[in-house]
Amino acid sequence: MTQTLIGPSAAAGPAGLDEYVVAGSYPTYEQAQRAMGHLAEQNFPVAKTAIVGTNLRLVEKVLGRLTWLHSAGGGAATGAWFGLLIGLLVSLFTPGAAALPAALGGLAFGAVFGSAFGLVTHWLGRLAPGRRDVISRSTLIADRYDIVTTPDVAEDAKNLLIKYGWRTG
């Protein structure tokens, strides 16, 4: 079965193409990547292909509650990195033995101010209507992942993917 997509949905295919053909479909992105790797190993022109996810959904995994301690700790860590960077830049222009205290001072001041900024941000967030006191990670997941290709190499891609399917069974 050959599935050719033409028109506005073709924007999801390889850049600049008006149409593309589905050469293979896989239930997970990792399987589609492995199949694409197989095409590359067979010296297939992979520049004429793309992996297209269909029926996308957003999954948000809640990792925990956002607490005052977490806000302060995250702010301190971010501020420490920024302070260390500034301290290292200042230490480049500081003579001799004063260079190390400049870098460490920047790290310490950055951690203190970052922690304060994290606490203020948390407090302001609690004042906002519809606030969220959770930490989460969002992921896009598709129901299936299609390997699509230009029509001129579609049959070659399908044949290679059929052989790949026989091998991985």
- pLDDT tens per residue across span 106-118: 999 999 999 999 9
Clarify whether residues 127 and 153 are in a common domain: no
Clarify whether residues 126 and 74 are in a common domain: yes
The reply to whether 12 falls in a domain is: yes
The reply to whether 61 falls in a domain is: no
Clarify whether residues 40 and 72 are in a common domain: no
For 163, the domain range is 3-56+142-168
The reply to whether 136 falls in a domain is: no
91 or 132, which is more confident? Answer: 91
Q: Which whole number is the average pLDDT over 58-74?
A: 90
Angle between helices 154-168 and 29-41 (to 10 degrees): 110
How far, CA to CA in Å, does 24 sit from each of 11, 58, 144, 160?
A: 18, 24, 10, 10
Clarify whether residues 127 and 71 are in a common domain: yes
- pLDDT tens per residue across span 76-100: 999 999 999 998 888 888 777 778 8
Label residue 6 by pLDDT band (50, 70, 90). Answer: very low
The reply to whether 146 falls in a domain is: yes
Element containing residue 109 per DSSP (H, E): helix 99-127
What is the rounded distance in angstroms from the CA atom of residue 29 to the CA atom of residue 10? Answer: 20
Q: Give the count of domains, the chain.
A: 2
| pTM greater than 0.95 | no
pLDDT, residue 2, reads 44
Q: Which whole number is the average pLDDT over 33-60?
A: 93
